[in-house]
Amino acid sequence: MIDTATLRDKARAALTRCGVSDLDGDVLTARSPVTGEPLFGIGGSGDVQSAVASAREAFLQWRNTPAPVRGALVRRLGQLIGEHREELADLVGIEAGKIRSEALGEVQEMIDICDFAQGLSRQLYGRTMPSERPGHRLMETWHPLGVVGVISAFNFPVAVWSWNTAIALTCGNSVVWKPSEQTPLTALACSALLDRAIAETGAPAGLHRLLIGGPEVGEQLVDSPDVPLISATGSTRMGRAVGPRVAARFGRTILELGGNNAAVVSAAADLDLAVNAIVFAAAGTAGQRCTTMRRLIVHEDVADELIDRIAAAYRRLPVGDPFDDKTLVGPLINEAAHDRLRAALTQAASEGGQLLAGGERELTDDASGAFYVRPALVRMPAQSEIVRQETFGPILYAMTYSTLEEAIDLHNGVPQGLSSAIFTRDQREAERFLSADGADCGIVNVNAGTSGAEIGGAFGGEKETGGGRESGSDAWRAYMRRATNTVSYAEELVLAQDVSFL
Ligand code: NAD
């Protein structure tokens, strides 16, 4: 197992190469879930008010910069991220405990969204509509909003920032970022790279500001009247606090909150494919993705075979040091996450659940601050309370069904609505799941797991997941305001709906 001194050296080296100077301080202590120990104290980055004020000033200039020129900034950011891929992946591994391929995958997502945003900089299209009046033109134009506040969660410490920031900057906004207090180092590194891209491309300084701190710093950002859009990613609990506060001042939100994602596995499924997809989606990232598969709804004819195969795969999963190439499941983020996982397993047992694999702490003695857990598979009765909750760790609840209607009812019968999947080779079943009275989530997949979305699509979910959309497709519209324009080139005044006046 890698030790804390090595992690500390790795982190310092990565930060230095990314251009972070002036590191040490006492605002926050950076920790690693890999060993559960503190790494070093880091300094703050100024107060919320001055960060917003300088971002606002930069915005006033940036909004008049042609969009394709803005795109050049995001292109440079993507290049710099690519040049620092290894260092950034080191930091993601150190702070979030991700295994190497997932940490590299998260960095790749940043590069991909920068590519996307650069292309978008020439495609911020508005529509032209036929006017009902002669000599008139009706069209819409899109303008930036102002300062975008980004609040992000620990489990995607950099990808979520990049989805928001690459698109917000391309749309002509400036950004103030409040990363998770669990992952300040990745934030410092990304912010330094963006500062460098800003300086190299001649964009206004202050276009991006970083706020290091906990929820109280997030709250100040949320309440700032000069931040027209708050894009907040985290728990539903956080969204419940943030949403009404921003709404009270008529600000806008993009809320990306908790998920409780399920897969339906039909009797017509390719079980080999389903097992691999389910194990990745449920156990990968130690169950700490918003899109992690948490519920399995299996047809009764194939349930025993499928569940046995998943249990066998779970028992073989290499759990441990995320810096070891053979590891597939790294640590939980902290002790509180482990406590919540144990409490959920206790409740599941009290509701008739049968633990088939995993759930126990591994590798470390009780005194250690690191929490490694073998992913848990629990067979549950269809109706139970615990399966309605998101427990942010590797627990998969397996339930059975007999008709597709019943499966869809079970699937939709939870408060969250992020990601869903059906495994079937029966096209009718697949189409039914994709239809309006099928799965009620923002992401609905066929023969692909619930996690691992591409940046090209709009990402987000319904119900208590918050309704926001980020990343690809036309998610950019949430970062802009729309103006509808009527232009008359008629000789006389013509009123709509044939109204005559004067
Ligand atoms: P969290 O809610 O504890 O914290 C998320 C962020 O919100 C942090 O930066 C935190 O400081 C800030 N915050 C918390 N309370 C706040 C408040 N009242 N005002 C302003 N800011 C506040 O979440 P976490 O433990 O870091 O992340 C795990 C959760 O995030 C899970 O529920 C997961 O499903 C969710 N998540 C959702 C998505 C998505 O796209 N839907 C993506 C990643 C994570």
Domain with residue 290: its CATH number is 3.40.309.10
Cβ atoms 106, 156 nearer than 8 A: yes
364 pLDDT above the threshold of 80: no
3-class state of residue 35 by DSSP: coil
- At 108 the pLDDT is 98
Alpha-carbon distance of 282 to 272, in angstroms, equals 16
Alpha-carbon distance of 63 to 278, in angstroms, equals 45
CA of 258 to the centre of ligand 1 (A): 8
- Answer yes or no: do 219 and 344 share one domain: no
Q: Choose, from 18, 114, 190, 290, the residue flagged as catalytic.
A: 290
Cβ atoms 114, 77 nearer than 8 A: yes
Placement of tokens 């250690």 in the chain: 368
Q: Choose, from 87, 256, 390, 429, the residue flagged as catalytic.
A: 256
436 pLDDT above the threshold of 70: yes
3-class state of residue 445 by DSSP: strand
pTM for this entry: 0.98
Alpha carbon 478 to its chain's center: 16
Asked whether residue 495 is domain-assigned, the answer is no
The pLDDT-based confidence of 23 (bands split at 50, 70, 90) is confident
3-class state of residue 38 by DSSP: strand
The pLDDT-based confidence of 382 (bands split at 50, 70, 90) is confident
Asked whether residue 461 is domain-assigned, the answer is no
- Answer yes or no: do 232 and 359 share one domain: no
- At 366 the pLDDT is 63
- Answer yes or no: do 110 and 233 share one domain: yes
Placement of tokens 């491309």 in the chain: 201
Percentage helix, strand, coil, to 5, in the chain?
Answer: 40, 20, 35
299 pLDDT above the threshold of 90: yes
Q: Where are the alpha helices (DSSP H) in 288-389?
A: 303-316, 335-350
CA of 48 to the centre of ligand 1 (A): 19
* DSSP code for 287: G
- At 430 the pLDDT is 98
CA separation, residue 226 to residues 21, 220, 230 (Å) = 29, 11, 11
- Answer yes or no: do 110 and 42 share one domain: yes
3-class state of residue 160 by DSSP: helix
- Answer yes or no: do 251 and 267 share one domain: no
For residues 350-361, average pLDDT = 97
For residues 282-309, average pLDDT = 98
433 pLDDT above the threshold of 80: yes
Q: Could you give the percent of the chain with pLDDT greater than 90?
A: 96
Which atom, in ligand 1's list, is nearest to the CA of 234? 30
CA of 269 to the centre of ligand 1 (A): 35
Cβ atoms 436, 455 nearer than 8 A: no
- Answer yes or no: do 233 and 340 share one domain: no
Contacts of 432 (CB under 8 A, 6+ apart): 404, 408, 438
190 is catalytic: no
- At 365 the pLDDT is 67
Which atom, in ligand 1's list, is nearest to the CA of 236? 32
Give how many domains the chain has, as a whole number.
2
Closest listed residue to residue 157, CA positions, set 33, 24, 21, 23: 33
406 is catalytic: no
- Answer yes or no: do 266 and 215 share one domain: no
114 pLDDT above the threshold of 70: yes
- What is the length of the chain? 502
List the structure tokens of 360.
């126990």
Alpha-carbon distance of 99 to 103, in angstroms, equals 6
The pLDDT-based confidence of 257 (bands split at 50, 70, 90) is very high
For residues 439-456, average pLDDT = 97
Q: For ligand 1, atom 21, which residue shows the shortest CA distance?
A: 218
Q: What is the dihedral of CA 407, 410, 415, 421, to 10 degrees?
A: -30
Buried b (16+ CB within 10 A) or exposed e, 184-220: bbbbbbbbbbbbebbeeeebbebbbbbbbbebebbbb
Number of H helices and E strands in the chain, helices first, is: 14, 23
For residues 230-234, average pLDDT = 98
- Answer yes or no: do 217 and 68 share one domain: yes
Number of Cβ atoms within 10 Å of the Cβ of 367: 6
Edge-to-edge strand order for the sheet containing 174-178? 208-210, 174-178, 147-151, 229-233, 252-256
Asked whether residue 453 is domain-assigned, the answer is no
Alpha-carbon distance of 253 to 418, in angstroms, equals 17
Asked whether residue 234 is domain-assigned, the answer is yes
Which atom, in ligand 1's list, is nearest to the CA of 418? 41
Number of Cβ atoms within 10 Å of the Cβ of 388: 13
- Answer yes or no: do 178 and 279 share one domain: no
Which atom, in ligand 1's list, is nearest to the CA of 392? 31
Asked whether residue 456 is domain-assigned, the answer is no
Residues with CB under 6 A from ligand 1: 151-156, 160, 178, 180-181, 214-215, 218-219, 222, 233-235, 238, 241-242, 256-259, 290, 390, 392, 418, 461, 465
The pLDDT-based confidence of 367 (bands split at 50, 70, 90) is low
Q: Could you give the percent of the chain with pLDDT greater than 70?
A: 99
Asked whether residue 201 is domain-assigned, the answer is yes
The pLDDT-based confidence of 408 (bands split at 50, 70, 90) is very high
Cross-strand bridge partners of residue 417: 462
- At 46 the pLDDT is 81
pLDDT tens digits, one per residue of 212-229:
999 999 999 999 999 999
- Answer yes or no: do 251 and 284 share one domain: no
**Average pLDDT of the residues of the chain:** 97
Cβ atoms 128, 139 nearer than 8 A: yes
- Answer yes or no: do 164 and 292 share one domain: no
- Answer yes or no: do 155 and 222 share one domain: yes
336 pLDDT above the threshold of 80: yes
CATH classification of the domain holding 164: 3.40.605.10
Q: For ligand 1, atom 11, which residue shows the shortest CA distance?
A: 215
Q: For residue 197, what are the domain limits? A: 4-257+466-483
Q: DSSP letters along 146-158, please? A: SEEEEE--SSSTT
